[in-house]
Amino acid sequence: MDRYVTDIKNGCYQNPVLPMDFSDPDAIRVGEDYYLISSSFTYLPGVPVLHSKDLVHWERIGNCVERLPFDRYAQPAHGCGTWAPALRYHAGRFYAFIPLPDEGIFYTEAIDPAGPWSALHCVKSASGWIDPCPLWDDDGSVYMAHAFAKSRCGIKHKIQLSRLDPETLEVVEDGPIVFDGTLSQPTAEGPKMYKRNGWYYIFIPAGGVEYGWQTVLRARNVYGPYEEKIVMHQGASSINGPHQGAWVTAPDGSDWFLHFQDRFELGRVVHLQPMCWHSDWPFIGLEQNGDGIGEPVTEWDCPKGEAGPGLQIGDSFTNGKPGLQWQWHGNPSALWYLSLIHI
């Protein structure tokens, strides 16, 4: 089976580390292993799960969603389906929070990230709630940050924080709008929540997919008030709109940020950036033009870790079955196979 292996030169990786469409990535580390998921809209099976030992070499190991539990997805429904998900690990289980912009927020869980994953469980039935991310706090409380899709509910630029039931993970209180980016951070979306040194952080992209930037919000209280700071933008680099992604810390304590870049007809490709902290603010990439804001790098020293086999990009159809990289434009159906046979 043909595989894509990231180019390594003199101990440096080259960006993008995933030069193919893995939109809206989120990633975590569990022990020595990294896992990444991404949106897949109505391509099914969907919300692919990737594994890596070094953040550079990735292998697809499964999918969070085999099919969507709504009749409309028996047919292609472009622009719908699974939008930006979040991946978290809590109490020995993996959780993927997945938005369907017309139906609501759902989660699925698994003991093994390669699967099987549970059936989708509804967190909140709502049109226009997107980009959810949960946070299990130190006192046992569970919160979920999310954004809004203006195309569905008429709301934009805002981040809401809801409280979840710790047992069912369903929304028990919608909660307040904790950030309104209308004036300073337009198209604020894709929130990813973290807690570090007593600070609550919400990483958000703003400015739009094609030419936006990375902003970080922080507060001492989970409900705010939140300070804001732009921590990475295109600047003088050739990497347009460094968009939403994930902060991960390696076993050696080094910090990294995975994000996507919209390459238009080539899809949303994934980059890996070095990250560090100054005065409890993250700094992503490399400052190159004197403005004090990080810019994406095109190459950097490889993180420590074992290089994996790489991503499957070809298929020999071992045992007569397609590989994990194959998807349909809707819920898979045996009738589609029969139609192909008779063509």
Active site annotation includes 255: no
- Cα distance between residue 266 and residue 152, in whole Å: 27
In 295-338 the beta strands, taken as DSSP E runs, fall at 299-301, 311-312
Rg from Cα positions in the chain:
19
Residue 181: CB atoms within 10 A of its CB come to 21
Kindly state the tokens that stand for 143.
Answer: 């919160």
- Cα distance between residue 231 and residue 78, in whole Å: 33
- Are 241 and 209 in contact by the 8 Å Cβ rule? The answer is yes
In sequence order, which residues have a C-beta less than 8 Å from that of residue 10 and are 6 or more positions away?
A: none
List the one residue out of 189, 9, 175, 155 whose CA is nearest residue 83: 189
Catalytic residue among 24, 66, 131, 295: 24
Catalytic residue among 26, 103, 131, 189: 189
Active site annotation includes 102: no
- Cα distance between residue 271 and residue 214, in whole Å: 13
The set of catalytic residues is 24, 189
